[in-house]
Chains A and B, each alone.
Chain A
């Protein structure tokens, strides 16, 4: 058996998310464990490229055998959209970890998306409702800061990420190696969420998103002001404002924004939220209020921020009501349903406005009008003239460059890995990080593997006696110029490593001690009596050796540490002295040194 200290390495393989904002899916191998971080879908593709390519793993066997666990950071589909595909169609039966709100909301979004893809677009080869349900059964909920022991060696811990309700960053640890994956996060509190936070966990690798790698955020407040200004202007001139949204996430933030604005400005125009999901969605926010920001949590008993006074349920007949109004309607990309119906009704009037608060998939009406298309072909060969104003506003909550740097300062990683961003922006940030923190920064592309060498220390159990002795000898402050070295014996038995004093090691292993001693006679010419000679030796050594215990004992010996020196004179010549040095092997260096010093004789008086 030998002491095993390989230079272990953590290895990160990118399925998605590398230099691309499309879909996130990262494989991490650390300390012999394989973990999948997020399992996202690319909203921009309709073919196989939509889902991550699992063949890298499955060519060598089943996913379940390869992966130790899957961790989902938050409910956005670019982070969890491929989950049912992965677990039910490719096949994975191991644990899937996500926070409670993510567990609650993610199946709803998956089902929504499934309906759009399968029912509306008629696509096949997609997961079914039942698969979503079966997949969710494999989910183990995570609480913030709880250390979850996936198995004996692998532990994970979730931190608040702020990005959306229930978003989490995750710390993964195997032995003394660790990785932090941020998912999407936000370092500044917004209207309904708090700021991301992590402790100084010093991971070997920090994997961070970098969506806004080059932006320094002044912008969010400005965008909000912009948004409110546009809505207000439109209302003032009697126009109707349509805001297509998905039921969860951004919708609630915009509702809070409008609600407070209406309150402050004392506006009377009605705000509606399209039926169905509204109540339900807001209910999630009420029940998971502990995941929102400090302010909302503090006041929720008096006033729940998600009980809106000005925002009422929408009825389809309201669309024809005269006068201004604001309507939030689903779905968010204007590809079907209520938002599309309302859009058709209002599109012809230039006083009206549609505000697209999020990303639109190619082929949807949302995507077309955002690209400036003004004539839309509808079913039945009818065309629709788009006269209303079209606005795009991004409200997604991501960390900006400053935020990313702040997180690095918080976590103090040894290596940095950027994902989920555009190559050029990432390059800029990489430079900044390497310069400021002097750590290595990687930015792999999709399908690339990054291997980072970690260099773990070896934990051993040191006997308290030995430790205390050393600490007492070492004094309170170590002297960097004179490092004190300690000596002990490491006993390796099965998987245990114990460091004990050599004496204790002998005892524990049942071994006998073997004393090795040396005795050396050194002739010396010194015209003094024996005892005077001895004293001269004493003073000589005393002046020569600092920091050693030197004793002149009454029984006619000088002791340097445990080395014994005696003097005798020969019968013939009283001046010819014989010095007798005796030392044990433990003092070999000192003993040998002394004998060579004494051979040179004593200094003249």
Chain B
């Protein structure tokens, strides 16, 4: 069993597991942090961005002023943003049988994998994962396509060129493999391969392996996966949460007793408490509004935003924000809000019971109904006429490189009254803000990451007791910025097996048994004998049938009756016979002699040897050599006697 690691990003994993002749891709994460190296894509012409100076190396030898722009001491690529894809060279992607998706954030690279690679397999995901994943992909495509950029910068990617660039561009890895965003057709085609699954559904793959998603508690429809055969079990844990937010709680017990547990998607903010962050979010928001400023919340269109809205629903009146408009701007804002209300089965118990009343499970329905929350597909159209300030705007993309958020950064960045509150943990806020410097707007960083922290994961692993743990190498050492915090890493016995991008791990277990089925007819014919107290054995002679990786044993068919022909011929066609079983035990001398006597063999001369006895059957001129671990019958030209002796010896032995 092998694990191929195609992504180095611990929360956006992409691994391939080879297990019992199946090739299973676990998640398909797209590392979008690469876009931080690019200039933002403004929705309307931005004089500031267009006036940024081009970059020329200090000695003047390299001139990339068309491709690279400088802003506040940082260099950005002036081109459509590109993503860092999972590694495509490590193995042939067309050999992948299935892709298991754990949550909608971890499927964004799907079109790159399923399209144009020869992939012909099936993708498994839950219904919310598919629907919301589709929304996020559509949003991404929309963000990119509505502000097309003619220029595509490639010269800077030249190895010799990149080496001479200032950081962090210089250190960016595999830049030549970075790709532009896919199109809507690729999204549709990729998603048409998705087969929906429910929690705890057992999906058979080629009869060899069974996979099953389990609730992971992180987002709507998010799942961990169990990949198992009758004797081996791999648990894949990705993006799980033990906090009570909106999704169904995490199913921990089903992860128990796995041979290997692949652990990804831990919190990216191990030191930030989500509840504390939520409180900070609310108080900063209220403070800014009261002072007459606007609040900008860059966020994804699904996920934590539901919790933020629910928190605000309870907070608005107490904070006297009843008249402040809340805007949610995204091409998929409406769909996201609507979809969240129809997945009752995937929600926590509290929200489920609401549906029985029947009431919408999320209170943002009421915020919309009472006009406190309004949603728009973009800043164009209705929004521009409804827009009132001061207000709170939720919009994407959290990288601040594309989407409507770019517009609000340009609009509000110059005023110290306004505040930007970062809640998504995927991007460093300083890097996100870099191309907007200098900035007067206040910045508040309250990343809310509900995924497991190191303390929780240690407890979880103690409970579920996997034999081996595999995890990204980042989890085996403290974060670089907090190298003294040994509590911010995984310490396990035996130590976890770390992986990085392009690692190929041999997973440490050997398959020893396989499930086969004995057909009833054969089972009835078996004769068990007890060899030890509580242990019985039966010899099995059978025909093995293997079909679709399922094995059955059935009785050996009786040979068809031989048609009566000439005797000579019949002898020649004597059927090949199955080997006889092994024997065990010993033949005791006295008892054997007594048995011989009972069968009329009385003239026996016994001779003692170093290892046992030699019996000389004088009348029959036959020798039997009896030893502890063997019996040798020397008998000439007397087949009936030989078979009699054979059967007498066998009486004392155990067949295996």
Interaction A to B: yes
Interface flag for A592 (CB, 8 Å) = yes
Residues of B56-79 contacting chain A, CB below 8 A: none
A5-B334 contact, Cβ under 8 Å, with A283-B358, A474-B544, A511-B654:
no
Interface flag for B142 (CB, 8 Å) = no
CA distance A301 to B230 in the complex (A): 43
Residues A464 and B637 in contact, CB atoms below 8 Å apart: no
Interface flag for B339 (CB, 8 Å) = yes
Interface flag for B557 (CB, 8 Å) = yes
CA distance A455 to B531 in the complex (A): 29
CA distance A470 to B542 in the complex (A): 11
Interface flag for B526 (CB, 8 Å) = yes
Interface flag for A502 (CB, 8 Å) = yes
* A60 surroundings in chain B (CB, below 8 A): none
CA distance A587 to B579 in the complex (A): 6
Residues A290 and B342 in contact, CB atoms below 8 Å apart: yes
Q: Tally of A-B residue pairs with Cβ under 8 A?
A: 275
Interface flag for B543 (CB, 8 Å) = yes
Residues of B604-656 contacting chain A, CB below 8 A: 628-637, 639, 642-643, 646, 649-650, 653-654, 656
Interface flag for A410 (CB, 8 Å) = no
User: Shortest distance in angstroms between A154's beta carbon and chain B's nearest beta carbon?
Assistant: 14
A586-B513 contact, Cβ under 8 Å, with A493-B534, A515-B629:
no
Kindly identify which residue among A287, A470, A514 contacts B358, using a CB–CB cutoff of 8 Å: A287
Interface flag for B577 (CB, 8 Å) = yes
Which stretch from B98-106, B196-204, B295-303 is at the chain A interface? B196-204
User: Shortest distance in angstroms between A21's beta carbon and chain B's nearest beta carbon?
Assistant: 29
Residues B344 and A457 in contact, CB atoms below 8 Å apart: no
- The CB with the most chain B CB atoms within 10 A, among A458, A470, A517, is that of A458
Residues A512 and B629 in contact, CB atoms below 8 Å apart: yes
* A478 surroundings in chain B (CB, below 8 A): 543, 545
Kindly identify which residue among A2, A290, A470 contacts B127, using a CB–CB cutoff of 8 Å: A290
Residues A588 and B580 in contact, CB atoms below 8 Å apart: yes
* A176 surroundings in chain B (CB, below 8 A): 517
Residues A5 and B523 in contact, CB atoms below 8 Å apart: yes
The residue of chain A having its C-beta at the shortest distance from the C-beta of B556 within the complex is A485
Residues B534 and A494 in contact, CB atoms below 8 Å apart: yes
Type the 1/0 row for A1-15, where 1 means its CB is closer than 8 Å to any CB of B.
Answer: 111010100000000
Type the 1/0 row for B502-517, where 1 means its CB is closer than 8 Å to any CB of A.
Answer: 0000000001111111
Kindly identify which residue among A148, A288, A498, A521 contacts B342, using a CB–CB cutoff of 8 Å: A288
Which stretch from A63-71, A139-147, A382-390 is at the chain B interface? A139-147
Residues A514 and B630 in contact, CB atoms below 8 Å apart: yes
A457-B355 contact, Cβ under 8 Å, with A487-B540, A489-B538, A514-B583:
no
* B580 surroundings in chain A (CB, below 8 A): 585-589
Interface flag for A275 (CB, 8 Å) = no
Residues A519 and B342 in contact, CB atoms below 8 Å apart: no
Residues A104 and B355 in contact, CB atoms below 8 Å apart: yes
Residues B633 and A2 in contact, CB atoms below 8 Å apart: no
Which stretch from B83-91, B323-331, B422-430, B568-576 is at the chain A interface? B568-576
A461-B515 contact, Cβ under 8 Å, with A516-B631, A586-B580:
yes
Residues A547 and B576 in contact, CB atoms below 8 Å apart: yes
Interface flag for A392 (CB, 8 Å) = no
A487-B537 contact, Cβ under 8 Å, with A100-B345, A455-B520, A511-B531:
no
CA distance A573 to B332 in the complex (A): 105
Kindly identify which residue among B200, B524, B546 contacts A5, using a CB–CB cutoff of 8 Å: B524
Residues A483 and B543 in contact, CB atoms below 8 Å apart: yes
Interface flag for B541 (CB, 8 Å) = yes
Type the 1/0 row for A568-599, where 1 means its CB is closer than 8 Å to any CB of B.
Answer: 00000000000000000111111011011101
CA distance A517 to B587 in the complex (A): 13
Residues B636 and A521 in contact, CB atoms below 8 Å apart: yes
Residues B198 and A484 in contact, CB atoms below 8 Å apart: no
A516-B546 contact, Cβ under 8 Å, with A145-B198, A522-B637:
no
CA distance A471 to B127 in the complex (A): 40
CA distance A2 to B526 in the complex (A): 10
Interface flag for A503 (CB, 8 Å) = yes
Interface flag for A94 (CB, 8 Å) = no
* B359 surroundings in chain A (CB, below 8 A): 283
Kindly identify which residue among A1, A143, A590 contacts B530, using a CB–CB cutoff of 8 Å: A1
Type the 1/0 row for A546-571, where 1 means its CB is closer than 8 Å to any CB of B.
Answer: 01100000000000000000000000
User: Shortest distance in angstroms between A269's beta carbon and chain B's nearest beta carbon?
Assistant: 30
CA distance A458 to B551 in the complex (A): 12
Residues of B512-570 contacting chain A, CB below 8 A: 512-520, 523-524, 526, 528, 530-532, 534-546, 551-553, 556-557
User: Shortest distance in angstroms between B48's beta carbon and chain A's nearest beta carbon?
Assistant: 37
Kindly identify which residue among A1, A100, A585 contacts B583, using a CB–CB cutoff of 8 Å: A585
A464-B639 contact, Cβ under 8 Å, with A1-B528, A502-B656, A585-B580:
no
User: Shortest distance in angstroms between A507's beta carbon and chain B's nearest beta carbon?
Assistant: 11
Mostly, the A contact residues are: mixed
The residue of chain A having its C-beta at the shortest distance from the C-beta of B342 within the complex is A289
Interface flag for A300 (CB, 8 Å) = yes
CA distance A582 to B377 in the complex (A): 90
Residues A492 and B538 in contact, CB atoms below 8 Å apart: yes
Residues B344 and A519 in contact, CB atoms below 8 Å apart: no
Interface flag for A439 (CB, 8 Å) = no
Interface flag for B352 (CB, 8 Å) = yes
A518-B642 contact, Cβ under 8 Å, with A3-B528, A146-B200, A506-B584:
yes
A3-B642 contact, Cβ under 8 Å, with A463-B512, A503-B582, A514-B653:
no
* B538 surroundings in chain A (CB, below 8 A): 3, 489-490, 492
* B551 surroundings in chain A (CB, below 8 A): 462, 467
* B546 surroundings in chain A (CB, below 8 A): 471, 474
The residue of chain A having its C-beta at the shortest distance from the C-beta of B649 within the complex is A516
Interface flag for A216 (CB, 8 Å) = no
Count of interface residues, chain B, beta-carbon cutoff 8 Å: 95
Residues B556 and A599 in contact, CB atoms below 8 Å apart: no
Interface flag for B578 (CB, 8 Å) = yes
A103-B356 contact, Cβ under 8 Å, with A514-B630, A587-B580:
yes
Interface flag for A220 (CB, 8 Å) = no
Residues A589 and B201 in contact, CB atoms below 8 Å apart: no
A280-B629 contact, Cβ under 8 Å, with A459-B515, A485-B543:
no
CA distance A467 to B511 in the complex (A): 11
Residues of A447-466 contacting chain B, CB below 8 A: 455-464
User: Shortest distance in angstroms between B538's beta carbon and chain A's nearest beta carbon?
Assistant: 5
* B642 surroundings in chain A (CB, below 8 A): 518, 520, 592
Interface flag for A499 (CB, 8 Å) = yes
Interface flag for A109 (CB, 8 Å) = no
Interface flag for A314 (CB, 8 Å) = no
CA distance A404 to B162 in the complex (A): 67
Type the 1/0 row for A467-481, where 1 means its CB is closer than 8 Å to any CB of B.
Answer: 100110010001000
Kindly identify which residue among A148, A459, A509 contacts B535, using a CB–CB cutoff of 8 Å: A509
A491-B631 contact, Cβ under 8 Å, with A287-B360, A484-B543:
no
Residues B528 and A460 in contact, CB atoms below 8 Å apart: no
Residues A485 and B578 in contact, CB atoms below 8 Å apart: yes
User: Shortest distance in angstroms between B271's beta carbon and chain A's nearest beta carbon?
Assistant: 37
Interface flag for B581 (CB, 8 Å) = yes
The residue of chain B having its C-beta at the shortest distance from the C-beta of A468 within the complex is B514
The residue of chain B having its C-beta at the shortest distance from the C-beta of A596 within the complex is B639
User: Shortest distance in angstroms between A286's beta carbon and chain B's nearest beta carbon?
Assistant: 8
- The CB with the most chain B CB atoms within 10 A, among A284, A516, A523, A589, is that of A516
Residues A486 and B356 in contact, CB atoms below 8 Å apart: no
CA distance A515 to B626 in the complex (A): 10
* B544 surroundings in chain A (CB, below 8 A): 467, 470-471, 474, 484, 486
Q: List 17 A-B contacts (CB under 8 A).
A: A147-B200, A284-B358, A287-B344, A287-B360, A301-B335, A462-B515, A483-B557, A489-B539, A493-B535, A502-B582, A509-B532, A512-B584, A523-B637, A544-B572, A585-B580, A586-B582, A587-B579
Add 9 more A-B contacts to A1-B530, A5-B524, A515-B630 (CB < 8 A).
A3-B536, A100-B352, A103-B356, A487-B581, A509-B537, A512-B629, A513-B629, A516-B633, A590-B576
Considering the complex of A and B, which 5 residue pairs feature the smallest CB-CB distances, nearest first? Answer: A589-B577, A515-B630, A457-B517, A461-B513, A502-B582
